[in-house]
Amino acid sequence: MATFFTKEHEWVTVTDGIGVVGISDHAAHELGDITFVELPKIGAAVTQFGLLGSIESVKAASDIFAPVSGKVVKVNDALDSAPEVVNESAEGAGWMAEIEIANESELKNLMTQGEYDDYLKTL
């Protein structure tokens, strides 16, 4: 199991060809109090860095991009009634979707935890 990050602050943790996707703790903190999460539809085909959903907070609305290409096989329905879970546990219980990964070689386009931590220092 490994976790990778995008420059737009999404993460994906990969286990056996399935990627669990969400936004980083950094992104959740920057957004402030999250009020709504628009999740993708189960069965939707997504492409790497293409639109996956959106998230709204008291400060801003932001698109969420897919860190990998594939098919959405599960979404975190709990966020419909409790979007604040993303603030409380962005890289845990606040996950947004599971994607059946089409091409694991796309992971090389993402950052490791260490690379992401270094990237955050440049912002």
Task: Find the mean pLDDT for residues 62-68.
Answer: 98
Q: Which CATH number fits domain 2-105+112-118: 3.40.50.150, 2.40.50.100, 2.30.31.70, 3.30.70.260?
A: 2.40.50.100
Instruction: Look up the pTM and report it.
Output: 0.96
Which helix (H) or strand (E) element contains residue 62? strand 61-65
Inform me whether the pLDDT recorded for 1 exceeds 90: no
Task: Find the mean pLDDT for residues 27-53.
Answer: 98
User: Rounded distance, CA 110 to CA 115, Å?
Assistant: 9
10-15 vs 45-46, strand pairing mode: unpaired
Task: Find the mean pLDDT for residues 76-85.
Answer: 98
- Average pLDDT in the chain: 97
